Amino acid sequence: MARQLVGLFSAALVAAAAVAAAGAGLPSNFAMITPRGPLLGKRDTAEYCGKRKCMAKCESRCPDQCFVLCPSCKTICMCDYYPGISCGDPRFTGGDGNNFYFHGKKDQDFCVLSDADLHVNAHFIGTHNPATGRNFTWIQAIGIRFADHRLFVGAKKTVKWNNRVDRLEMALDDESIDLPTKLDARWESAAMAGLTITRTAATNGIRVQLKGVFDIMASVVPVTEKDSRIHNYGVTEGDCLAHMDIGFKFHDLTDDVHGVLGQTYRSDYINKLRVSANMPVMGGATSYVSSDIFGADCAVARFGRRTSISMVASSYS
């Protein structure tokens, strides 16, 4: 699991972790919820646990969006469940199960994963606090390359956050993807067999799947004034730093895969981070810098070494 959890959630999370470890994806008895107020029961009950009203609260670490397991109504932050996760000041859970931070750099693009048939970059936004000298970064968008296609998923720049307003931006091969703001609304690509996007919430939450290749959960969240105040992020009134919490799941990776996250899936990967530290940090950022959101030109790029992904995806259609 992404991190150790205690007490109330332990039984539910053990079950959830078993499902994830088995590669079966998300359990059927889950729902993603985006509370409008402090109690989840203020939302339409049809969106979670059927007709049962869940009065549990999302944790303070994920107040805007979390999973609820039915019928127990236990809540789980996405950062604590989905493998390959990147959340907040980018914290990843590697393929080896260990957590680490990769801070990147504001306004630059970095290679998250690069394999023969798949390449994923992330665009970073951030702030600098002159009082402490610290830089803070978040992932604002991802660019995914597969076969001859380019898929963009990002968070729109947002001044004032309102979770009822969708701030997701999506495009395939520079063509905008319009997805109705309705739970379970689904888009299916006509250009790429097996590529779908499904809303996990009416706004700001999606699941992106390419059968046999990847399964990505993404949600747009802000940096709240409270978080900024506690951590000295330096958020201004003109930008709430809307960013994405992302869960990655990959299929059929080669053993030559690389990238910030990708390398942790290699059979020969040796974790040299200080896993006992409160914040293990992966360095070597220069090895992962890409020229743009779709650039497959980072120093560890592997993309383009074979061209079988279209056949892999087609076999599932």
pLDDT at 6: 25
pLDDT at 72: 72
- Alpha-carbon distances of 158 from 86, 202, 205, 242, 243, rounded to whole Å: 20, 18, 16, 6, 10
pLDDT at 252: 92
pLDDT at 170: 98
pLDDT at 55: 66
Residue type, 278: N
The pair of three-digit structure tokens given for residue 56, joined into one six-digit string: 């549990």
Domain ranges in the chain are 7-80, 86-314
Q: What is the rounded CA–CA span in Å between residue 228 and residue 163?
A: 18
List per-residue pLDDT tens for the chain, 317 residues long: 332 222 222 223 233 333 333 333 455 566 666 654 433 344 433 345 656 666 667 776 666 667 777 767 777 776 665 555 555 556 777 777 777 778 889 999 999 999 999 999 999 999 888 877 888 899 999 999 999 999 999 999 999 999 999 999 999 999 999 999 999 999 999 999 999 999 999 999 999 999 999 999 899 999 888 888 888 887 878 899 999 988 888 999 999 999 999 999 999 988 877 666 666 677 788 999 999 999 999 999 999 876 444 434 444 43
The pair of three-digit structure tokens given for residue 256, joined into one six-digit string: 């030559």
Q: What is the rounded CA–CA span in Å between residue 207 and residue 196?
A: 8
| pTM of the shown model | 0.75
Element (H, E) at 75: strand 74-76
